[in-house]
């Protein structure tokens, strides 16, 4: 079983969304973890926009990367430049992937405008996650 770590700055939005979609698309073929180089708590807007798409991340917790030092990951995906720059060295063979998604938590404006930004980022991460599973997980299990 492949182990995937999704890493961002605060483990509150982007990595939580990616964890939800990777679990959804990969099913039982993987163990998915997410963490931050800091912990900010799971953003309620991230929970809400994932629920709109039928994925429940309300039980997710915000975890620090140090909690996973002893896990031999197969893949590490950084979802923001800050995390990639601050990502600690893992003594593992993990393949590293990176995509700098915009941070929806930094969106400003009305609640409608902020939620629109969250949804936009959600769709980017959904597309990335589905493609990642198709290219890196389904190939291995086919």
- Asked about 13 being catalytic, the answer comes back as no
Backbone angles phi, psi at 87, to 5 degrees: -60, 125
Give dist(CA 139, CA 69) in Å, integer: 27
Give dist(CA 109, CA 44) in Å, integer: 17
- Given the residues 5, 6, 7, 8, the one annotated as active site: 8
Backbone angles phi, psi at 55, to 5 degrees: -120, 125
- Given the residues 87, 114, 116, 124, the one annotated as active site: 87
DSSP lists the bridge partners of residue 96 as 76
- Given the residues 6, 32, 80, 105, the one annotated as active site: 80
Query: Residues 46, 75: contact at Cβ < 8 Å?
Result: no
Catalytic positions are 8, 80, 87
């Amino acid at each position: 079983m492949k182990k995937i770590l999704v890493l961002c700055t605060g483990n509150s939005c982007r990595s939580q969304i990616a964890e939800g979609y990777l679990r959804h698309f990969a099913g039982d073929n993987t163990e998915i973890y997410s963490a931050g180089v800091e912990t900010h708590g799971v953003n309620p807007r991230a929970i809400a926009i994932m629920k709109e798409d039928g994925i429940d991340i309300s039980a997710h917790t915000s975890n620090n990367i140090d909690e996973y030092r002893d896990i031999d990951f197969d893949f590490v995906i950084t979802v923001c430049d800050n995390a990639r720059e601050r990502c600690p060295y893992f003594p593992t063979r993990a393949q590293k992937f990176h995509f700098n998604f915009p941070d929806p938590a930094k969106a400003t404006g009305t609640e409608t405008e902020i939620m629109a930004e969250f949804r936009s980022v959600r769709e980017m991460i959904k597309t990335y996650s589905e493609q990642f599973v198709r290219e890196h997980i389904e190939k291995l299990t086919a």
